[in-house]
Structure 1
Amino acid sequence: MTRRNSANRIKRNRNYTVIDISETLGVHPKTVRNWIRVGLPVVDKKRPLLINGADLKVHFKHKRKAIMFDCDEHEMCCFRCKQPMKPSIESVLFIAKPAGMAHMKGVCEECGCRMNKYVSWRNVNDIWLELKGKLPIAEKHIILRGQNLLNCPFGGVFSDEK
């Protein structure tokens, strides 16, 4: 399993050698040399190679941006299909999280791979309707105080609804 390197460990105003970066991030020195080979700028070509901390942070930012997808609100990133995909409506589940967030879980319609996304709780209704889900009439007016939020209307659809 790959490990994401935290740019927070790197100081912006400091110059690092290859060994310093490898010890700070916990990677092999050959990994740092591979980053240099693919575009991480060095201060000069003299040995020891010095890398500016600000350049290293920018390099991590570009690497992270390259693997992210631009998804619509009702789509999630499928890493097997390598593109934004809609989840199957039967598998969509919203779990309430603190600070007005919701954890959206689902399964890709194409490949069946599990997908996750965090969305704003106030957008859950719009996302659900965009996915062509039906809201149970009685459940959308219930206000629960001091209890965990129910995952309804996302667990099923009532048969008496038109």
Structure 2
Amino acid sequence: MEKLPSLAKDTSARTRGSERRWRLAQRILPKFHDRIPDSRDDPFDQCATGPFVLGHMDLNPWNMIFCPKGPNAGKIVGIIDWEMSLTVPLWSLVCHPLWFDRTSLSEVRTPAEAQYFKDTYIRQLQKHAQEAIVLRVVQNAQYEARRRFSEIAILPWDAAEVMERWLDQNPGHR
């Protein structure tokens, strides 16, 4: 892991602000790495032993195919780009995705817009979820924090600002 940032620096195209982001990444990545046990080691985790589900892991609007017209207009009719899929705990699949809170890595949605996405998501889960555990998990702040950590942890080094914000908003427990 320690060698990855230097490799990324050598192979990354230099852009405006990349040196500043690189210095931030050098400072933030070790701190973020140190927080892995906080998101993983929880003796009270109801999902630690299952159920495990297939997770897309890059599910965002540009990997969704929507019906353009007709009675299903606006509905998702297909999902593409499955190469990052893996088996994950239920909380990793059903908690709100990162793009509910952000329009991009550098742009945060307004709280009202983010809440609208979350409320709509909950209503759809209430309508379609067949297992009560799904709603318990998605409405659990601890699982939401884990989901957010896991999404942010796989971002590239030049997204260190997002990691720094997460660290500021989620002080360590140790």
TM-score class normalised by the smaller sequence: under 0.3
Output the TM-score relative to the length of structure 1: 0.21
Larger Rg: 1
- Which structure carries more relative contact order (alpha carbon 8 Å, separation 6+)? 2
Higher strand share: 1
Q: TM-score, normalised by structure 2?
A: 0.20
